Amino acid sequence: MTNPLISIVTPCLNRVEYVREAIESVLTQNYPNFEHIVTDGGSTDGTLDVLRTYPHLRVVSEPDQGIFDAINKGIRLARGEIIGLLNTDDLYLEGCFKTVAGVFDQNPATLAVVGGITTFHDDPAGRRTVNTVPAIEPGELWFRLIQNHPVTNAWFFRQAVFQRVGYFDARSRYTADRYFLINVVLDGGIRPTPIHQILYAYRQHAGSGTISDLDGRDPKYGAVRMKILQEDIGFLEDYLDRPVLPSEVRQRMRREHGVRCYRLAATAFYHRKVRLALDTTWRGLQRNILLPFIFIQMAARRLKKEITGYE
C-alpha cells in the first residue's frame, strides 16, 4: 500500500483548552505522510502559544470571516492528495489515517470516503460516550445528508472534489458543512465509499455551536440555536427554489424545511420572539401546506420526550 499525503485542515479561534488534544490525535496516528494546517482567526487566549510548541504545524493566523472561510483557506493551502477536516475540540481515533489511505488505495476511482463518529462528554468522573453514529450507507445517503447526521468530519476527500464542486459557503457561520456535502453528491455526482469503522470523535460541550450539551431553552444557546435554524431554512429554500431537483431530494427537503420551521418557531416563542415565530410559520406554510400536521407531530414528540425521557 502507498502512503499518500494526507492534509488535515483545522479552523481555530480561542480554543486553548482543547487544541492540544486535537493536535495529538493527529500525531498519534503514526501515519508517515501527513501535513496539519491550522487556520487561526486571531486567537488571544493562549492558543497560539500552544500551536508554537508543535513545529510540524503549518499555522496561518489572521482575521477571517468565520469557520468556513478558515476551512477554505486551509484547503487552498493543502498539498495532499487526501484532505480531512478536524475541529479544535475534536479527535481522530486510532488507526483512522491508515484505514482511510488503504480504502483510497484500493479504490482509485473513489473521490470521497466516510466513516462513523462518536460523541463524548467530559464529566467530573471521566470521559463518557454520548452516542455513536455509523458510516453512511448508499441506500440512506439522502436521508442522512438532509434529515439526519451527515458525520461531516468523518469524510475524507480527494483534491479533485474541491476542483469539481468548489468550497464551503463562507457566508455561513454554522451549517455550510451539511450543504457542502449535499453539493458534493447533488452537483458533483460523487458517492462516498463507506468505511465501517469509527474514525472521528466529537466533543460535546457548552461552548460548541452545533454539538452543545445545552438545551434550546437556555438563553444563550437559544439565541445560537435560532441562528443555526435560520441558516438551515435559508439553505433549504435555496435548493427548493431550483427548477430541477430529484424527487426524493425535493420531498426530503420540503419535509425537513417544515421540521426546521417548527423548531425555530417553537424556540422563538419560548424566548418571546413572537414576530420571528410567526414569520417562520408563514415561511413554512408557503413551502408545505401540510405544515400544521408536521407541527402537531413534532409537538407530540417533544411532549412525549418531556414526560418519558424518550422520543
Q: Report long-range pairs for 146-151 (Cβ below 8 Å, ≥24 apart).
A: 146/182, 146/249, 146/252, 146/253, 146/256, 147/252, 147/255, 147/256, 147/259, 149/117, 150/177, 150/178, 150/181, 151/114, 151/115, 151/116, 151/117, 151/200
Domain boundaries, the chain: 6-203, 219-308
Express each pLDDT in 190-216 by its tens digit: 999 999 999 999 999 877 666 655 666
Tell me which CATH code domain 6-203 carries: 3.90.550.10
Express each pLDDT in 28-45 by its tens digit: 999 999 999 999 999 999
Please answer whether residues 172 and 92 qualify as being in contact, where contact means their C-beta atoms are separated by less than 8 angstroms. Answer: no
pLDDT of residue 310: 54
pLDDT of residue 289: 87
Residue 304 has pLDDT above 70, yes or no: no
Residue 15 has pLDDT above 90, yes or no: yes
Instruction: Point out the least confidently predicted range of 53-57, 127-131, 307-311.
Output: 307-311
Q: For the residues 72-82, what does the mean pLDDT come to?
A: 98
Residue 311 has pLDDT above 60, yes or no: no
Express each pLDDT in 100-149 by its tens digit: 999 999 999 999 999 999 999 998 888 999 999 999 999 999 999 999 99
